[in-house]
Structure 1
Amino acid sequence: MDKLTQAFNFRHACKVFDDTKQISREEIDYILDAGRQSPSSFGMEPWHFVIISDIAIKQRLKPLCYGQEQITSCSDLIIVLYRKDTQFTMQSEYLRQTVQRTLPVEGASFDLDAACQYFINYCTKGLPEGISINNWSEMQCYIASANMMTAAAYHGIDSCAIGGFQGEKVIAELEKQLPQLSINNFGVALCLAFGYRKNTQTEQVRWKKSDVSSFL
């Protein structure tokens, strides 16, 4: 069995972490790189990762995540934020810098405004009906989140994706420490708990490939 398949078999939604075991900074950097290097639509990378190892902050976040034990028993909690539509306007510094880096070198003939407008037109006219820019941005973060959990499993580190949280209150709590993370500009996509399991892994339950795949 190859190592990637082993990682998929190893990973499960760890509900109880051994709070006496801590992940090294080198391993956290490895996990973050998996998120940072993830693919995203238009290469916009509309995410921001907040890494929390401070137990006091985790304790304040726990009730905002409906008291889930993983929040405080994990070694490191990574809050995956998505960038809101306020960061994808013609005046947005983030949009302009992100688009500019993919254009030809300075001095060549290109129109930054036109390139930004092309992306804005896609968001306003090209997204499926009922999908907003915020929805689009949040969905990109799920790709990065999955890659980080797989990378962790590859190195024998457990994880749990937590989707139950009071997003605005979580952002407000983070904003106390990081004022730049304004609720006007960011939303919470997922909370990812990382650490080492305390209990034996339960049997993985999945549909057969034939149940979830169709070939044409």
Structure 2
Amino acid sequence: MNQEYTISADTIVSAMNWRYATKAFDRNKQLADADRAALLTALRLSPSSYGLQPWKFLVVDDNATRSKLGEAVPANKSKIEDSSMLVVLARRRVTTAQHVEQHVQTVQEARGVSAEELQPFKNMLTQSAAGRPAADQDVWNARQVYVALGCALTTAAMLKVDACPMEGVNPEKFDQTLGLAGSDFTTTVAIAFGYRDKSDPFASYSRARRAASEVIEFV
């Protein structure tokens, strides 16, 4: 059931001005369970084309696994190891007719509608999603993962949790370490959550953004 709620515009703008891509995390400060749960829920509830959710979110809590991932990408090693929560966002390589069938069944159960009512939707998905060439599907599914990434970053800002999205990953090595090699999924991007360390000079840098007039156009 949808619930009405209000968040002020000032609150949102303030949170977005506060956030930055954190370069150094305080490894001694951990997320509260409620904040951790909220961030994972934001990922799970993120929108995707047709609601297909072609993703998997791997929460890497094991320190040995984190160290192995850090060794694969030295530039991001400290973020991977020191952050309170590390999530690797993986995309489904290909959406099949079976995946469409599973999704339609989920919609049917969630909304209490009949299979007959959803048949046109199922037909459309089978043609539009599962019918695409595999290479096109892979690119399309990766784009869906980035939508989830954006939702998580915004949620973190609202919670006053620091975060750093990392495209600097080694998909092949990450897949091997995380057990994704040979599966339906592959690493796309990672995100570290936690609290900024006092040693991070980027925390005090002035925000560098182009003027609204340069990036926003009213048509």
TM-score normalised to structure 2 length: 0.83
Describe the SS at the equivalent of 1:102: helix
Q: Alpha-carbon deviation of 1:122? A: 1.3
Instruction: Please tell me the root mean square deviation across aligned C-alpha atoms, in Å.
Output: 2.4
1:173 and 2:182 matched: no
The one-letter amino acid of 2:144's match is: Q
2:47 aligned partner = 39
**2:11 aligned residue (3, 25, 31):** 3
Q: Percent identity?
A: 28
2:145/2:188 contact within 8 Å kept? yes
1:123/1:132 contact within 8 Å kept? no
Would the alpha carbon gap of residues 99 and 66 (structure 1) be closer, same or farther in structure 2, given more than 3 Å must change?
A: farther
Q: Which moved more, 1:95-104 or 1:68-77?
A: 95-104
2:58/2:88 contact within 8 Å kept? yes
2:100/2:125 contact within 8 Å kept? no
1:29 and 2:53 matched: no
1:168/1:183 contact within 8 Å kept? no
2:29/2:84 contact within 8 Å kept? yes
1:78 aligned partner = 87
Q: Which moved more, 1:8-17 or 1:65-74?
A: 65-74
- Structure having the higher helix fraction is 2
2:6 aligned partner = none
Within 2, Cα distance between the matches of 1:4 and 1:16? Answer: 24
**1:64 aligned residue (72, 80, 103):** 72
Within 1, Cα distance between the matches of 2:118 and 2:197? Answer: 55
Within 1, Cα distance between the matches of 2:20 and 2:47? Answer: 23
**1:159 aligned residue (158, 163, 186):** 163
2:4 aligned partner = none
Unaligned runs of 5+ in 2: 1-8
Post-superposition CA distance 1:95-114 (Å, at most 9, x none): 311122334747653575x6
2:3 aligned partner = none
2:116 aligned partner = 109
Describe the SS at the equivalent of 1:78: strand
Within 1, Cα distance between the matches of 2:56 and 2:75? Answer: 24
Post-superposition CA distance 1:79-127 (Å, at most 9, x none): 0111111xx222x2x3311122334747653575x64442232137779
Work out the number of aligned pairs and report it. Answer: 204
Unaligned runs of 5+ in 1: 176-180
TM-score normalised to structure 1 length: 0.84
Post-superposition CA distance 1:50-90 (Å, at most 9, x none): 112222211010022244121111111000111111xx222
Post-superposition CA distance 1:152-188 (Å, at most 9, x none): 111111000000111021011111xxxxx45331011
Within 2, Cα distance between the matches of 1:124 and 1:80? Answer: 21
